[in-house]
Amino acid sequence: MDRSSSAREMTFRGLVIGALITVVFTASNTYLGLRIGLTFSSSIPAAVISMAVLRVLGGGTILENNMVQSQASAAVAIATVFASFPALVLLGFWAHFPYLETFGLTAAGGMTGVLFTIPLRRALVNESPLPYPEGVAAAEILRVGSAADGARANARSLSMLISGAVASGVFSFASGGLRLISDGATAVFSLGSSVFKLSTGFSLALLGAGYLVGIAGGVAMLVGYALSWLVATPLLTAYTPNLDHLAPAAFATSVWVHKVRFIGAGAIALASVCTLAELAGPVLRGVRDALASKVGAHPDERDLSPRAIAIIGAGVTVVLAASLTSFLAPSTHSVVLPVIVGTGFMIIFGFLTAATCGYMAGLVGSSSSPISGIVIIATVLISSIFLLLEAMGLTPAIFSENHHHVAIAFAIAVLSAIVASAAISNDNLQDLKTGQLVGASPWKQEAALLIGCVIGALVIPPILNLLYQAYGFAGAMPRPGMDPSRALAAPQPAIIAMIASGIFERNLDWSMILTGLAVGAVLVIVDRFLRRRKLSLPPLAVGIGLYLPPSVSTTLAVGAFLGWLLKRRGASADKEAGAGTMLASGLIVGESLTGVAMAAVSGATGRDDVLAIVGPGFAQWGTIIGVVAFIGVCIWFVRRVQREDSIAQKTA
């Protein structure tokens, strides 16, 4: 696309707007990720907000809007460190999230993700037939919003986003703050020695996330829940001795935590590896073509210069090494070799990861890219490397003491930087594809992404601390007397901690993991069979459904069903920027930001029930109110989307 040389592109006000949006979506995605292990794409909501704000300020251009959404899209990516850092709390190595170490590893990892993908841009974006679904969709939104009649469409989209955020925020405050609404409904029953559990949640963020996941992912999550709580848990409770004489509900939960979740971890690992293997050929060809590309660059097609990349890369490497040194120094003075190995592994594996994730994002989209598989593989590799160095006598003595406590923690610290790098590279090429389609300057967009990484990393530590102090993580509560039922599930950190600890200690529950591998293999076969009939059952989503708490999986399925219902009725459920997408994004943002705000109140007061106006005796009424209110919101959601689509069709 041609670009006017006089068009406003990277501006100070754009950077400020992008920074503010980045903070909001980083907080939202961190909360959502710790709660359900998923994040939502911020590109389209960020573009809509940017267009609205710049239209009010006057003089906004499509290129300026693109820079804002590029910077803000780093929020959804950089927040992915929720998958690793909390593992250090679960292991008991950290009691909170130290600012400098958390910021340094997050920023350095994210910025390498940008730098690593710059050499791949020409072959994987400009000269590639890869579809880049989210990148193309974001470009279309920017074009529509910049058209002569785009103001009206953009105003409607923003209205839907705000409506969802307000509704979700009020609902979340009534539930998590005032405690007038229960957060879910659960029924436990026994047949002989087998214990079954039916459960659903009343979270509007999960409802919106399920809508965005789609019917295939929602059904897969529901299948995972059924395998977990209607098959595996009943079977295991029937044959596992209840030595502590727990009540049926507590016994079933214990079996699920210590056995069934390992099955889910095995299924996730197998599904991730199979997906990566399926994409290995295209990825290798794409990387080979990228490295062989020698096409000259038009002035408007310039990337950051090699000198700039080298200077920034050197600075990022220093920050990474300093952060790892700061992490390890309180435990031992022998930091040189571990830091060199950790930094070197991050650089080498990070580049390979960037190429892999960038290609997969172009092939199947950022949201569908199996980054969980990359994280699991990285966990196994870095843990195995340090275990090998220990066998060779090259690691500090502290690494082998206290059940390898420090060694496991250091491996996860290195992994955290890799997670940030993989997540950013997974997102970066989508943004560069958007820029190519709207005529943006690549080097300016790359600079905006680097800025987004830094801003996101600045707010990650306080957000993690707020959420942990207010809610705790499943298996790690900051204070006695807190309600464990409101703890954040933190599914990925739990898997990472389990795998890393199991490798170092050689005590993984292989029987359950092997069962999970077998389940994953069956799911892969079933999915291949269904694909031939133009259906699907994503194996990775089934594995996540096995691993997540039951109330999460079922609520996600409800949101997915609403999307399917609206699509069947001809609504815009299948459009990237349709009314449903914006309303669902608003539901996620509203609950997430309310959750962060209530976490701040809880952290300031030291109590997680400071806003409650009812006591435990209100629980039954809270459940009834929750059922009615949740059903009411579902009906409102469907009708609002249908009404908005009707208005859009009449004005088209």
Reduced to 3 states (helix: H, G, I; strand: E, B; else coil), residue 194 is: strand
- The reported pLDDT for the residue numbered 325 is 94
When pLDDT is cut at 50, 70 and 90, the band that residue 288 belongs to is low
Check whether 320 has a pLDDT greater than 90: yes
When pLDDT is cut at 50, 70 and 90, the band that residue 296 belongs to is very low
Highest average pLDDT, of 104-113, 260-269, 393-402, 440-449, comes from: 104-113
Average pLDDT over residues 235-257: 86
Check whether 608 has a pLDDT greater than 70: no
Percent of the chain at pLDDT exceeding 70: 84
CB 524, CB 248: distance < 8 Å: no
Q: Count other C-beta atoms under 10 Å from residue 305's C-beta.
A: 10
* Model confidence pLDDT, tens digit, residues 183-237: 788 888 888 888 888 888 888 888 887 887 788 888 988 999 999 999 999 999 9
When pLDDT is cut at 50, 70 and 90, the band that residue 574 belongs to is very low
Which is higher by pLDDT, 329 or 134?
329
Check whether 152 has a pLDDT greater than 60: yes
- The reported pLDDT for the residue numbered 167 is 92
Percent of the chain at pLDDT exceeding 90: 18
Token reading at 346: 């991050």
CB 79, CB 33: distance < 8 Å: yes
Check whether 82 has a pLDDT greater than 60: yes
When pLDDT is cut at 50, 70 and 90, the band that residue 131 belongs to is low
Check whether 30 has a pLDDT greater than 60: yes
Instruction: Please tell me the number of Cα atoms within 13 Å of 254 on its side-chain side.
Output: 13
- The reported pLDDT for the residue numbered 2 is 47
Kind plus residue range of the DSSP H or E element containing 168: helix 150-172
When pLDDT is cut at 50, 70 and 90, the band that residue 573 belongs to is very low
Token reading at 626: 């929750």
Reduced to 3 states (helix: H, G, I; strand: E, B; else coil), residue 602 is: helix
Which is higher by pLDDT, 3 or 388?
388
Which is higher by pLDDT, 403 or 8?
403
DSSP labels for 443-473?
HHHHHHHHHHHHHHHHHHHHHHHHHHHHH-B
- Tokens 């039951």 belong to which residue? 550
DSSP 613: -
Check whether 299 has a pLDDT greater than 50: no
Between CA 75 and CA 79, with CA 78 as vertex, the angle to 5 degrees is 80
Contacts of 308 (CB under 8 A, 6+ apart): none
- The reported pLDDT for the residue numbered 90 is 92
DSSP labels for 504-549?
HHT---HHHHHHHHHHHHHHHHHHHHHHTTT----HHHHHHHHHS-
What is the pLDDT of the chain when averaged over all its residues?
81
Closest CA to 175 of 630, 636, 641: 630
When pLDDT is cut at 50, 70 and 90, the band that residue 6 belongs to is very low
Terminal Cα distance for the chain, rounded: 25
Reduced to 3 states (helix: H, G, I; strand: E, B; else coil), residue 148 is: coil
Phi-psi region of 402 (alpha: psi -120 to 50; beta: other; left: phi over 0): left
Between CA 88 and CA 98, with CA 92 as vertex, the angle to 5 degrees is 55
CB 407, CB 400: distance < 8 Å: yes
Closest CA to 427 of 359, 350, 366, 360: 366
SS3 track for 327-395? HHCCCCCCCHHHHHHHHHHHHHHHHHHHHHHHHHHHHHCCCCCCHHHHHHHHHHHHHHHHHHHHHCCCC
Tell me the torsion sign for CA atoms 208, 72, 77, 323. negative
Amino acid at 537: L
Contacts of 442 (CB under 8 A, 6+ apart): 121, 301, 302, 303, 432, 435, 436
- Tokens 């009812």 belong to which residue? 614
Phi-psi region of 59 (alpha: psi -120 to 50; beta: other; left: phi over 0): left
Which is higher by pLDDT, 168 or 123?
168
Q: Count other C-beta atoms under 10 Å from residue 288's C-beta.
A: 12
Judge residue 565's burial from the number of C-beta atoms within 10 Å of its C-beta, 0-12 exposed, 13-18 middle, 19 or more buried. middle
CB 547, CB 225: distance < 8 Å: no
DSSP 476: B
CA–CA distances in Å: residue 180 to residues 183, 201, 206, 618: 10, 15, 19, 8
Closest CA to 423 of 75, 125, 87: 75
Give bridge partners of residue 189 from the DSSP assignment: 196
Which of 287-301, 446-460, 537-551, 622-636 has the weakest average pLDDT? 287-301
DSSP labels for 9-37?
-S-HHHHHHHHHHHHHHHHHHHHHHHHHS
When pLDDT is cut at 50, 70 and 90, the band that residue 545 belongs to is confident
- Tokens 């470009």 belong to which residue? 139
- Tokens 């502290």 belong to which residue? 398
- The reported pLDDT for the residue numbered 171 is 92
* Model confidence pLDDT, tens digit, residues 333-380: 888 999 999 999 988 887 777 766 766 666 555 555 556 667 777 888
Contacts of 387 (CB under 8 A, 6+ apart): 407, 503, 504
- The reported pLDDT for the residue numbered 339 is 93
Reduced to 3 states (helix: H, G, I; strand: E, B; else coil), residue 481 is: coil
Which is higher by pLDDT, 402 or 315?
315
Highest average pLDDT, of 227-231, 428-432, 483-487, 614-618, comes from: 227-231
> Could you tell me the residue ranges of all domains in the chain?
12-148+281-290+305-471
